[in-house]
Amino acid sequence: MSLDKATVARIARLARIKVPAGEEDALAADLSRILAFVEQLNELDCTDVPPMTSSEAMKLRRRADEVTDGGIPEKVLANAPEARDGYFTVPKVVE
Amino acid sequence: MSTTTASAESKNLIEGKTGHWEVVIGLEVHAQVLSKSKLFSGAAIAFGAEPNSQVSLVDAAMPGMLPVINGFCVEQAVRTGLGLKAQINMRSVFDRKNYFYPDLPQGYQISQFTQPIVGRGELVLDLPGGESRTVGITRLHLEQDAGKSIHDQDPQLTFIDLNRSGTALMEIVSEPDMRSAEEAAAYLKKLRSILRYLGTCDGNMDEGSLRADVNVSVRKPGAPFGTRCEIKNVNSIRFVQQAVEYEARRQIELIEEGGTVKQQTRLFDANRGETRAMRTKEEAHDYRYFPDPDLLPLELEPDFVARIKATLPELPDEKKARFMKDYGLTAYDAGVLVAERASADYFEAAAKGRDGKSAANWIMGDLFAVLNKTGVGIEQSPVSAEALGGMLDLLKDGTISGRIAKDVFVAMVETGKPAKVIVEEKGLKQITDTGPIEAAADKVIADNPKQVATYKGGNQNLIGWFVGQVMKATGGKANPGVVNEILKKKLAE
Amino acid sequence: MSALTDLTLAEARDGLKAKKFSAAELTDAHVKAVEAARPLNAYITETPELAKKLAAESDARIASGDARALEGVPLAIKDLFCTENVRTTAASKILGNFIPQYESTVSGKLLAAGAVSVGKTNLDEFAMGSSNATSAFGAVANPWKRKGDNRPLVPGGSSGGSAAAVAARTCLGATGTDTGGSIRQPAAFCGIVGIKPTYGRCSRWGIVAFASSLDQAGPFARTVRDTAILLREMAGFDAKDSTSVEKAVPDFEKALTGDVRGLRIGIPKEYRMDGMSREIEDLWAKGIAWLKDAGATPVDISLPHTKYALPAYYIIAPAEASSNLARYDGIRYGLRVPGESIDDLYENTRGAGFGAEVRRRVMIGTYVLSAGYYDAYYLKAQKVRSLIARDFEEAYKKVDAILTPTAPSAAFALGEKSDDPITMYLNDVFTVSVNLAGLPGISVPAGLSSDGLPLGLQVIGRPFDEETVFRVAGVVESQAKFTAKPDGAA
């Protein structure tokens, strides 16, 4: 699968990563090469094969409903780039 | 996809310029699970805490944090599924729903996409006319709630509070089976009632523990489904109704003017009573769902489900049917009483061994009036069910008349004293002795020759006036039935 | 280089107990070694003050007879493990000056066992790479150099810093993580031992996530015994990690009996690849002979889907990473590059904060999960993964462990391999299937190339059978008698 610039731009948008102008072509070429590499999997017929989601055949462990965490606003905000009055702040989001 | 099997009910159709239109409604309700801690973290959930004080490192999506599922939230989801007569899926999977938003710290929401914990179920709508209609529930799944974005604290900034981030939600999706704003409201009302009965959600829409996304489309009856718009996060039943009405109108007008409905996400503006499109860019969301690799598939044990099923409370529909059968209540009355478990329990306590209809009338009339006026719930009623029952007993055995009972009730509300005591203290016993009644009747007849003549002249209805006069003369305590009989006899002489 | 830094971890542990030297002395020697090895750029953050403080506490405990399993042992921690109050970067700009308010479970266990942390080691950014060249903090130089050639070589990756730090004798052991080979391959390149345990053996809590279904923490050290000692302390069930397995941790050191008689060792034919270097083939043959001499039986096996492991990996790992890295958004921690709108803020921050390799992988991951492509790529890759796991299950009906080379070449110089990302990915060709199948795998230095560079052999085991892996590795080690040391060691 060869990716064109428009597709690369769309993926960059979805991933929220700004791609500087001038780098799009090289990036598209890299991504296309990687996709071509991984498309080797098309050689395999996996019709009746179940997907593997975990290497262990284990049951999901459930914890008890107790309050064992939270109450640590200082730790939560300790690394905040911008905070005010106990809130994280970001540029105004318009819905 | 199900479509309504019955032909479009004409009473639900909306009249447009080009004919009649049918509105098709589906609801996706987000119900916050009643639990102590969050779905995948041990932080507390309580409304109104200081910002970011109920946030664990997991909720804040710090590097290296991992989810661990709260078993009780799983139980609550199963309980809700059983309450909706739905299929419980013994194996379900958690998927990541990926998108960027500042109150979604992980950059994804842990939800369930292809294999939810609960499958198809149903819910009975109690409609205003007294009829019922069953609608389908497509599925219920567990997912994390996001934090809160506060846009109005500062002109340039949005404030983010993650207290709500990670709280367990049950997303309950209905089939697109509703055909009117009333039906949508009835759905939400019943769903809320069931959740409260089960104790799986407190249903407090004003606190945000129950929110509805309303999907609305319109079509000419018999035509395929039209394009739908989703109105997000409507937080009251009244607003849902208004939003549906507005949106249906909007779409009908748009189509009739030659336009096409664009599939979009909209918000309901409660101040204006209108829906408007959200200002996010017009890209369709690509959530890139995939199974969350930090979690394994959720497997339920048959015992686990059986135990929950065995301890389900009697639900509103069953209770309503039982009230109708055992107490002879009408569908409407029974429906009102079972809407909240507390009022249903109150009714049963008051009606036990007594006339159910009478109890129902007193509760739905006088008691509810007092409670509404004082803004108090039935759990804090100044008159207990036992006390009301005591008053009903006095009515039944003729100690007081219906008229007097009204006064007694008021006194019970004010003083908290039992009916018997009030009747004693105020001397309100109904007069059934014919002696005093005869005397009062004689006096009224003697004092009012003109009315007597009119009555004897053929105006039989005037008996009511005479009864009224005798009642007044006896301070309302005479038994009106006896008064009526005595007067009739005397006036016939 | 002092004698103290030349000890093995086991010798140091015993020496401390026997009071031959103090923890303070041992730490001091290593702190000095860290400084002297600065040209290698193996460390992102040195923590000498913390180390000295911990060493003093260790001496007190040793004196009072309270010594814990790793009391006073200087270790380095890969800068992918969140360490409380010590800056953690994941070798990326995007974490800015992030100071975790918590300690990862694994590094916490090491500290609780009395270990002394001398610093946070360099790595490929977000553990994505096989050369440590993608680090935002600069490349790491392998302490080994080619005979007669002064060019710096890569230490391998992603845990290049940890491997170099151990090989250069700046610490007695180090932690790494392995998602596609990131412990085993640098161990091979640096002539040391590195093991990736079974998936679920070590907790992932507090480790910056790359690919959740593949990541595993593991130790580096200079001997098999040392890694066994370290793994015992690192491993164990953690209730905070839903993928952590509730299995008791054996005393791995006890598995080093040296006795492999009767064990069947699988030799997978698909690992004999076209263009494989003669030296590596020969080393592999030697390894087989050593084990045969020791009483094990080599058995030819087939792992038919081997060639599909790399493509499957390069779908699954980037996909999971694209989602795991979404949290690096400039809002709650790390770098924030301002923007007019929230989306500008995201795009600016992540554009500036992520390096080229991370960007490539996040974008590939985003693409393969996106609408219309999920079935063809991600779902398909997960099915292929099942096939690969099945290959191993079948093989383990006939054998108890598998022997292969660790890497297709010895360490190379930066820029020597082309800029094509695929060429770099091929470094993992022998290691990735092990992650896809969740199995334990170790690399043991087994010989030198003609250039004088270390070459490693890999032993792969059954799930949760690290004991057999250690046992076989121990025999390979004793037979190989690898005593060479890098000149570039401090």
Tens of pLDDT, residues B330-385: 988 999 999 999 999 999 999 999 999 999 999 999 999 999 999 999 999 999 99
Q: Which tens digits make up the pLDDT trace of A39-91?
A: 999 999 999 999 986 655 678 999 999 999 999 999 999 999 999 999 999 99
Look at residue A27 and tell me if it is in a domain. Answer: yes
Residues of C designated as active site: 78, 158, 182
Q: In the structure encoding, which two tokens stand for residue C422, read together?
A: 């695929």
**Would you call A88 and B52 a contact, using CB atoms and an 8 Å cutoff?**
yes
Judge whether residue C431 has pLDDT over 80: yes
**Lowest model confidence (mean pLDDT) among C393-397, C425-429, C467-471:** C425-429
Q: Is C316 an interface residue toward A (CB < 8 Å)?
A: no
Chains contacting A (3 or more CB pairs within 8 Å)? B, C
- Tell me if B296 and A53 make a contact (CB, 8 A cut-off): yes
User: Is A38 within a domain?
Assistant: yes
A21 touches chain C (CB under 8 A): no
CB atoms within 10 A of CB A30: 23
Confidence check: pLDDT of B4 > 50? no
Task: Assess if residue A94 is contained within a domain.
Answer: no
Whether A3 has its CB under 8 Å from any CB of chain C: the answer is yes
Q: How many domains does chain A have?
A: 1
Cβ-based neighbours of C262, under 8 Å, separated by 6 or more? C295, C296, C297
3-state secondary structure of C90: coil
> Number of CB pairs < 8 Å for A and C?
170
The DSSP result for B34-47, as a single string, is --SB-SSS-BB--T
Residue A9 in contact with partner chain C when CB distance is under 8 A: no
Interface check B44 vs A, CB under 8 A: yes
In a domain, A13, yes or no: yes
Q: Which residue has the higher pLDDT, A21 or C346?
A: C346
Contact C191, C486 (CB under 8 A): yes
* Residues 61-90 (B) with a CB less than 8 A from some CB of C: 61-69
Averaged pLDDT score across all residues of chain B: 92
By CB atoms closer than 10 A (0-12, 13-18, 19+), residue B283 is exposed
| Partners of chain B (3+ Cβ pairs below 8 A) | A, C
A 10 A CB-CB count for B61 gives: 22
Dihedral, B325, B327, B331, B332 alpha carbons, nearest 10 = -170
Give dist(CA C333, CA C342) in Å, integer.
15
pLDDT tens by residue, C301-316: 999 999 999 999 999 9
pLDDT of residue C235: 98
**Can you name the CATH fold of B434-492?**
Arc Repressor Mutant, subunit A (1.10.10)
Within a domain: A75:
no
- The mean-pLDDT minimum among B374-383, C45-54, C161-170, C312-321 falls in B374-383
Chain A positions in Cβ-Cβ contact with residue B73 (cut-off 8 Å):
65
Q: Quote the minimal CA–CA distance from B311 to chain C in Å.
A: 29
* Interchain proximity C370–A14, CB inside 8 Å: yes
Residue B101: count other Cβ atoms within 10 Å of its Cβ. Answer: 17
C13 in contact with A, Cβ within 8 Å: no
Nearest to A88 among C102, C332, C367 (CB): C332
C108 lies within 8 A of chain A by CB = no
- Which residues from C are below 8 Å from A54, CB to CB? 213, 243, 438
**In Å, how far is A20's CA from the nearest CA of chain C?**
8
Mean pLDDT of A34-38: 94
- Structural domain boundaries, residue A37: 5-43
Question: Taking 90 as the threshold, does the pLDDT of residue C144 lie above it?
Answer: yes
What Cα–Cα distance (Å) separates residue B401 from each residue in B234, B385, B424, C31, C315? 48, 20, 14, 98, 83
Residue B3 pLDDT exceeds 60: no
What's the angle, vertex CA B335, arms to CA B333 and CA B339, rounded to 5? 125
Whether B151 sits inside 8 A of A65 (CB atoms) is no
Query: Measured between CA atoms, how close is B169 to chain C, in angstroms?
Result: 20
Cβ-contact A88, C332 below 8 angstroms: yes
Q: Which helix (H) or strand (E) holds A74?
A: helix A73-77
Which structure tokens are listed for B106? Answer: 């992980």
Shortest CA distance from A10: residue in chain C: C367
Of residues B463 and C466, more confidence is placed in C466
What digits encode the pLDDT tens for the residues C235-264?
999 999 999 999 999 999 999 999 999 999
Choice between B454 and B87, residue whose per-residue pLDDT is larger: B87
Helix axes B449-456, B463-473, angle to 10 degrees: 150
**Does residue A32 fall inside a structural domain?**
yes
3-state helix, strand, coil in chain B (%, to 5): 40, 20, 40
Backbone angles phi, psi at B61, to 5 degrees: 55, 50
Cα–Cα distance list, C132 to C139, C161, C412 (Å): 6, 7, 12
Nearest CA distance, A43 vs chain C (angstrom): 9
pLDDT digits (tens, 9 = 90+) for C61-107: 999 999 999 999 999 999 999 999 999 999 999 999 999 999 999 99
With an 8 Å Cβ cutoff, are A92 and B149 in contact?
A: no
Instruction: List the CATH number of the domain containing C45.
Output: 3.90.1300.10
Report the residue of chain B nearest A51, measured CA to CA. Answer: B291
- Residue numbers in C near A34 (CB within 8 A): 314, 360, 364, 421-422
- The predicted-structure confidence for B281-328, as pLDDT tens digits, reads as follows 545 679 999 999 999 999 999 999 999 999 999 999 999 999 999 999
Q: What percent of chain B has a predicted confidence (pLDDT) above 90?
A: 74
* C-alpha to C-alpha distance for C237 and A27, rounded to whole angstroms: 42
pLDDT of residue C1: 44
Rounded distance between C-alpha atoms, residue C202 and residue C238, angstroms: 8
Cα nearest neighbour of A72 on chain B:
B53
State which residues form the domain around C303.
Answer: 1-490
At C348-392, the pLDDT tens digits run 999 999 999 999 999 999 999 998 899 999 999 999 999 999 999
Q: How far apart are CA B24 and CA B178, in angstroms?
A: 6
Which H or E element spans position B324?
helix B316-327
Domain count, chain C: 1
Tell me the three state secondary structure of residue B341.
helix
Residue C148, CA distances (Å) to C40, C139, C151, C410 in order: 19, 22, 9, 16
Residue B492: the pLDDT is 85
Question: B123: closest CA among B111, B138, B102, B108?
Answer: B138
The answer to the question of residue A61 being in a domain is: no
CATH 1.10.10.410 domain range(s) in chain B? 434-492
CA distance C59 to B120: 65
Which residues of C lie closer than 8 Å to B, measured between beta carbons?
81-82, 88, 90, 95, 98, 100-102, 104, 204-209, 211-213, 239-243, 319-320, 322-323, 325-327, 329, 331-333, 342-343, 346, 366, 369-371, 374, 378
